[in-house]
Copies of this chain bind each other. A is one copy, B any other.
Amino acid sequence: MSDDAKSLAPSRRQFLTGAAAAGAGAVAAGAARAATPDPLITEVQEWASGLGEGVDATPYGMPIQFESDVVRRNVEWLTADTISSINFTPIHALDGTITPQGCAFERHHSGAIELRKEDYRLMINGLVETPLVFTYEDLERFPRENRVYFCECAANSGMEWAGAQLNGAQFTHGMIHNMEYSGVSLRTLLEEAGVSPEGKWVYVEGADASSNGRSIPLEKAMDDVLVAFKANGEALRKEHGYPVRLVVPGWEGNMWVKWLRRVEVMDQPVESREETSKYTDTLANGVSRKWTWEMDAKSVVTSPSPQAPIKHGKGPLVITGLAWSGRGSITGVDVSLDGGKSWQEARLAAPGTDKALTRFYLDINWDGSEMLLQARAKDSSGYVQPTKAQLREVRGLNSIYHNNAIQTWWVKANGEAENVEVS
């Protein structure tokens, strides 16, 4: 473990200069550099000796066969049945910020149902001037918005309260996805129905057998909530609520009701199963916190990580990961190589945007010694992501949800990585 993390962090110019001056093996192109130009010619990519596939082969394309391991995965022992369960986004293998729908995590309470657009109806009722029922085609006639937002399950990293358990970023932090949504502002539909002065909450429910009803304060419902029908440009997938889901930016995924069926304006919350016995946080003294809707700032190094070990040995290494906050935008991410003793500022691939994933990179020259790799997110509210110890001090050990603590990967000298806790 390096005592002086900063020595591992050359500027980009130093990185390149260092590379040019270094011998074989020390840089990415080291092997090539050590050779003379002539032998290189034999190494060049061969041209294809035949024709490839025509443009009629795949009207809708799938990933190439060599990427068949980059898929959602569920953990069988986590739940009694796959119908009321979760699977995880392969974040360890992705880059950038957009999550393709095909590998974006699922969480169902009674399975993914199949619902035709023609059969779809959305009711707005309760404390409104005029109860309304919209068809899918009706919804398409209202002014639309487009925004990229992350959706994180409240239980993401939940197993880690009790200590390092699941070995891989996909499993510890993969109950998250980030897509560009197109839809109608819920405010527009509520205004169309006319909210009565005594309306203070909305109760939203889905058409699946669980209904998954949740109460949302009217203030949020009238703010940035979307009734969405597209994600990343195309129709929602069946497993994400086709044809219509709710998008509740920055708030726990459970409230993003899929197959959205009804929005009832009420003068008080329902206190449903999903917001009392579930999705509340029991503290050390046995008292439970409720209405813990916002997802606090969080980050994770996605590579290197247990499923994405370092295979190339020492020298230039790209450390990368994701950061997000339900309370605003990411303003910075720090990375530690020594379990939080020292920190370096990572490079954000783009300025953070509100309630969306931010990609960060730290380019280092790895000396081959083991690391305790951590990331720490900071958001526009001034919040700094806490350590596990800090979080446990406030919340105890009874929680399942809302674990946004700093994650540690022990990267060994051989490049393999393991989920560990540091004290």
Q: What residues make up the interface of A, taking CB atoms closer than 8 Å to B?
A: 12, 15-16, 19-20, 27-29, 32-33, 37, 40, 43-67, 70-74, 81-83, 85-87, 93-104, 106-108, 110-117, 119-123, 125, 130-134, 137-147, 179-182, 188, 191-192, 194, 207-209, 211, 229-230, 232-235, 237-239, 242, 259, 261-262, 311-312, 315-318, 320, 347, 349-350, 359, 361, 363
Contacts and interface: CB of A to CB of B under 8 A. Distances in A.
A120 to B, nearest CB: 6
A361 B141 contact: no
B234 A100 contact: yes
Given A145-B349, A207-B45, A312-B137, A110 B40 contact: no
Contacts of A51: 83, 110-111, 209
Q: Which 5 A-B pairs have the closest CB atoms?
A: A52-B111, A54-B82, A59-B71, A95-B182, A146-B349
Contact of A318 (B27, B108, B141): B141
B238 A33 contact: no
A12 B144 CA distance: 11
A132 B33 contact: yes
28 contacts: A19-B192, A20-B194, A28-B138, A29-B133, A32-B138, A40-B123, A44-B133, A47-B209, A48-B115, A51-B83, A54-B81, A55-B106, A56-B82, A61-B102, A62-B237, A63-B237, A64-B114, A64-B235, A67-B235, A70-B234, A95-B144, A96-B180, A96-B182, A98-B179, A102-B102, A137-B311, A141-B315, A142-B318
A87 B59 CA distance: 9
Given A28-B141, A131-B37, A52 B95 contact: no
Contacts of A359: 146, 182
B48 A233 contact: no
A73 B56 CA distance: 7
A261 B44 contact: yes
Nearest to A61: B102
Given A54-B82, A54-B108, A64 B146 contact: no
A81 B104 CA distance: 36
Contacts of A48: 110, 113, 115, 207-209, 259
A317 to B, nearest CB: 7
Stoichiometry (number of copies)? 2
A311 B118 CA distance: 13
B15 A143 contact: yes
A12 B117 CA distance: 26
A63 B60 contact: yes
A50 B115 CA distance: 12
A419 to B, nearest CB: 22
A380 to B, nearest CB: 18
Contacts of A111: 51-54
Given A29-B132, A95-B233, A233-B95, A61 B349 contact: no
Given A100-B232, A111-B51, A207-B48, A318 B95 contact: no
A58 B142 CA distance: 33
A272 B277 CA distance: 69
B192 A46 contact: no
Given A59-B71, A121-B44, A233-B97, A110 B52 contact: yes
A125 B52 contact: no
A209 B49 contact: yes
Contact of A234 (B12, B44, B67): B67
Given A32-B133, A66-B242, A232-B232, 18 more contacts: A20-B192, A20-B194, A27-B192, A28-B141, A28-B192, A45-B121, A45-B261, A51-B209, A52-B111, A53-B83, A55-B87, A56-B74, A61-B104, A62-B102, A95-B144, A98-B98, A143-B318, A146-B350
Contacts of A361: 143-144
Contact of A16 (B112, B117, B192): B192
